[in-house]
Amino acid sequence: MYRIGIDVGGTNIAMGVVDSELHIIKKNSIKTKEASEPEAMIAAIAQGVKDLMAKARITESEIESIGVGVPGTAELDTGRILYANNLGFEEVPFLPKLRTALGEPLGSRTFFDNDANAAAIGEYVAGKYNVPVFVMVTLGTGIGGGIIIGGKVLRGLNYAAAEFGHMSINIDGCDCNCGRKGCFEDYASATALTEMAKEAGMPEYTDGESFFAAVKDGDETANKVLDEFVYYLSEGLTNLINILQPDVLVLSGGITRAADLFLDKVRERVYRDVYSRSSAKNTEIRIASGIPDAGDVGIIGAALISE
């Protein structure tokens, strides 16, 4: 049997067929901007699932479940996306409509969850962490997060827990699209890093890869920008550790492929500033490794959604 995982991101909707060993056997991708309205997105996802099944040569009867990770508040009891700032969705009856679009038997085997929760479950399961308190912080278009306590996702009373990205770290800071000022994701997401590089006069560095190549080459501006990014990232992570004191805090997202250029600096700042600095035990900060390719975390996490 197979599962299909669908990761709805601000840039791409990535989907894959996942086998019982949690390996992706076939993938597919749709540009989010080409299906940005709810109706168009749901139709594109349903078509994408059909294309993917054809590509992987599998039939409906071989699919155990379909899981969709969405970048916003997934209200599990109604199937609505309550709020997804990066998609501009509010109160969208996403799951019932997707189930209808997929038809039976696939519809009733389809589930959804917040994408960062899904990614955290994926990393926790695939990485066999098995610790009492586990936190994953995903640095992408925005910043998402998942908190797993005793093997269970902490969802909060309205399913909106762990929106780390909208913790303000600068109350006099820039306007966030959530309506507040100085949110963590406006300073420490992958997008924020690119923006900071642009503002520093590096318009040619439009993607993380070329930016980190410049850092490696010793480019002064790039290194200054990275230091600023490390400063903000460390502030946010220190807040999270002060509140939750997790056994493990995992960072994930495409830019963690360049973690050798910034992780030690982040650890240094966090361990210096965290309230528990004199404790014999402190949170282990590491890069997601349960799923070897960071790009697959969203798909595999989504595939593990099953409620």
C-beta closer to Zn ion: residue 175 or 207: 175
Least distance to Zn ion, CB of residue 237, Å: 17
Q: State the pairing for strand pair 63-70/284-287.
A: unpaired
- Between the alpha carbon of residue 197 and those of residues 100, 105, 172, the distances in Å are 44, 48, 21
Q: Environment class of residue 221 by beta-carbon count within 10 Å: exposed (0-12), middle (13-18) or buried (19+)?
A: middle
C-beta closer to Zn ion: residue 68 or 196: 196
C-beta closer to Zn ion: residue 176 or 297: 176
Inter-residue contact 116 to 144 (CB < 8 Å): yes
Residues 282-301 that bind Zn ion (CB under 5 A): none
Write the CB contacts of 138 (distance below 8 Å, at least 6 apart in sequence): 116, 119, 144, 145, 146, 251, 252, 253, 297
C-beta closer to Zn ion: residue 189 or 283: 189
Q: Environment class of residue 295 by beta-carbon count within 10 Å: exposed (0-12), middle (13-18) or buried (19+)?
A: middle
Residue 193's nearest CA partner among 215, 225, 221 is 225
* Amino acid in the structure at residue 296: D
C-beta closer to Zn ion: residue 121 or 237: 237
| Site string (225-264) toward Zn ion, x via CB under 5 A | ----------------------------------------
Residues 78-137 that bind Zn ion (CB under 5 A): none
Least distance to Zn ion, CB of residue 190, Å: 16
Least distance to Zn ion, CB of residue 175, Å: 9
Least distance to Zn ion, CB of residue 178, Å: 3
- Between the alpha carbon of residue 80 and those of residues 141, 146, 300, 305, the distances in Å are 22, 19, 22, 16
* Amino acid in the structure at residue 291: I
Instruction: Using CB under 5 A, count the residues that bind Zn ion.
Output: 5
Helix (H, G, I), strand (E, B) or coil at 137: strand
C-beta closer to Zn ion: residue 125 or 143: 143
Least distance to Zn ion, CB of residue 298, Å: 21
Inter-residue contact 300 to 306 (CB < 8 Å): no
C-beta closer to Zn ion: residue 180 or 224: 180
Give the residues across from 27 on adjacent strands. Answer: 16
C-beta closer to Zn ion: residue 60 or 195: 195
Sheet holding 12-18: strands in order across? Answer: 24-31, 12-18, 2-8, 63-70, 110-114
Residues 150-189 that bind Zn ion (CB under 5 A): 166, 176, 178, 180, 183
Least distance to Zn ion, CB of residue 114, Å: 15
Which residues would be at the binding site for Zn ion (CB under 5 A)? 166, 176, 178, 180, 183
